[in-house]
Structure 1
């Protein structure tokens, strides 16, 4: 059992938190402007990418040694036509530079909240969460904390793979925004 702090209680934060709780973990929700005394050993950044800087400036010291799950997709939400991080980087890499003492794991950014809640894509395939990170033990800790949640996981590799995960998330978001797929749909992985 882990203590999990989720920054953000929107659709994604709630769905992720509910999965951690269903797996038997203690979950606390925090807003990015709220100040709390202690953070869990797993911290989920379920906020827009633009809000991450404020969390880091407020909680930078408290995040040292923590597993920090970055779910952000750094999409330009004005145009839905680009990512707002350099092409050779990712939101996760930018966060890792600012939190060098934290264990950054990219996850949940390629799933929509509805598929996390139902644990299915298209009512047929199980929801698969892709993870990327440089700390293998941190990724194992995340998947272990979610064992029994009903979600499936694939380790996508090092944190460098966050670029591809963010591009994949961006594609899914831009298709939903253009009403080519539903916000309750998603991409399924058939094993």
Structure 2
């Protein structure tokens, strides 16, 4: 993939993990968040190709990682409005409830589908990263990255992007299949808190 700019909205744990991997792959990272100091702090940890962006303005990258909690997505979408039109939006959120015992999405829908409703019609949402914990992502291993989305071109671009990060993209189907990714995301949280006693988890698909 040609080295280009990847924009990340957010500066939390997952945003930091993804930004580090993106920078290591040689892409320029644009970090965008309301808290300018927090964005600049993250940029300072990355290489010279990292920059801080302006919250609410059009992101520099054509691929935008929406790395904010599910409960903040609607507000962020409203703040950016048409600035996200035409972008490929990677939705990484696990839409869990407050005590992390269930999903906070309407019956028959997914967080990714609900997020898509808040964005301009020309923005193409692809679900990805939600089954990878941030600290596992920072370890640099070749992990399976499951994706779902309705736009074939957007998914192809995200797959190429994920591959450039040293991940193995695994397409599970259309946007309706995002539910099948968010449920395992919740399962992994439950497993970490209960059965495994560790957050050092990843899902791997055995093929052959």
| C-alpha contact (below 8 Å) 2:7/2:32 kept by paired residues | yes
| Equivalent in the alignment of 1:108 | 129
- Superposed displacement of residue 36, structure 1: 5.0
1:53-102: CA deviation from partner (whole Å, max 9, x where unpaired): 11101002101110000000110132x22111112000100011222221
Of the three residues 63, 80, 91, the one matched with 1:59 is 80
Match of 2:13 among 11, 14, 26: 11
Paired residues for 1:38-117 under 5 Å: 38-39=58-59, 40-78=61-99, 80-99=100-119, 100-117=121-138
Cα distance, 1:187 vs. partner? 2.3
**In structure 1, which of residues 182, 186, 189 is the aligned counterpart of residue 202 of structure 2?**
186
What's the counterpart of residue 186 of structure 2? 170
Give the deviation of 1:4 after TM superposition: 1.4
Indicate the structure with greater helix content: 2
Superposition TM-score, scaled by structure 2 size: 0.82
Deviation at 1:19, TM superposition (A): 2.2
Q: Give 1:117 shift.
A: 1.4
* Deviations 1:1-37 (CA, angstroms, capped at 9, x unpaired): 2321111222211111222222222111112566254
8 Å contact kept, 2:146–2:169 = yes
Q: Are residues 1:138 and 2:158 paired?
A: no
Unpaired runs of 5+ in structure 2?
Answer: 37-54
Structure with larger RCO (C-alpha < 8 A, sep 6+):
1
SS in 1 for 2:146: strand
Aligned length: 185
**Counterparts of 2:118 and 2:112 in 1: how far apart (Å)?**
10
TM-score w.r.t. the length of structure 1 is 0.89
Quick one: distance in 1 between partners of 2:188 and 2:173?
A: 21
4+ residue stretches of structure 1 with deviation over 6 A? Answer: none
- In the alignment, structure 1 segments of 5+ residues that lack a partner are 121-125
Q: CA deviation at 1:179?
A: 5.8
